[in-house]
A and B are shown apart, each in its own frame.
Chain A
Amino acid sequence: GDSVTQTEGLVTLTKGLPVMLNCTYQTTYSPFLFWYVQHLNEAPKLLLKSSTDNKRTEHQGFYATLHKSSSSFHLQKSSVQLSDSALYFCALSDNNRIFFGDGTQLVVKP
């Protein structure tokens, strides 16, 4: 069945370093991928979305490229800030169902 896998439960980094949060998916349908960010005690908010193969999408310094050949949609940022500390969810939609990964907690230290 359809699913989303986020391999890292917790990522801890020092401010200014690059980060990549992994997301792979499984589906037999044409996928629509999302990244949502959830700050402590706040609602999840959309960060990025894509359904176009091999096209980079960017927002607020974060970027991701959907690679259908490897079923991946990894989230990257070149230089993390303290304010990036949050829970990040990858999600997959085939327009019939939506599946969220278990999330990756990003902690940025000074």
Chain B
Amino acid sequence: EAGVTQSPRYAVLQEGQAVSFWCDPISGHDTLYWYQQPRDQGPQLLVYFRDEAVIDNSQLPSDRFSAVRPKGTNSTLKIQSAKQGDTATYLCASSQLGGLSYEQYFGPGTRLTVL
């Protein structure tokens, strides 16, 4: 069974540039999560979807971050006008049946550096 895949694996930007991250969850998983993991910190939930619906995006900096999952499968996280403080690894995870008490399967992450 293929795991969660993410691309790109690395991105380096200047401040003010935009970037998109792509995630392909495990087939059949209805719930998809995006996390931000700053260096030396634990993952912090940004947003999660059940099918195509946003369940919780309260931690997403809405002025510059956006996330979509239009068909309830793949998802894209976009940062407009990146800042140095956005430097982190962005992790995508998926799970079956929804809910936060179920095991989440993580992708390898995208390591973003904003100069």
Contact = CB atoms under 8 A, between A and B. Distances in A.
Does A pair with B? yes
Contacts of B40: 9, 102-103
Given A43-B4, A43-B108, A97-B56, A32 B100 contact: yes
Interface stretch (A11-19, A45-53, A61-69, A71-79): A45-53
B25 interface: no
Interface of A: 4, 6, 9, 32, 34, 36, 41-46, 49, 51, 89, 91, 93-98, 100-103
11 contacts: A43-B91, A43-B105, A43-B107, A44-B43, A44-B91, A44-B106, A46-B104, A49-B103, A51-B101, A96-B100, A100-B44
Nearest to A38: B106
A108 to B, nearest CB: 20
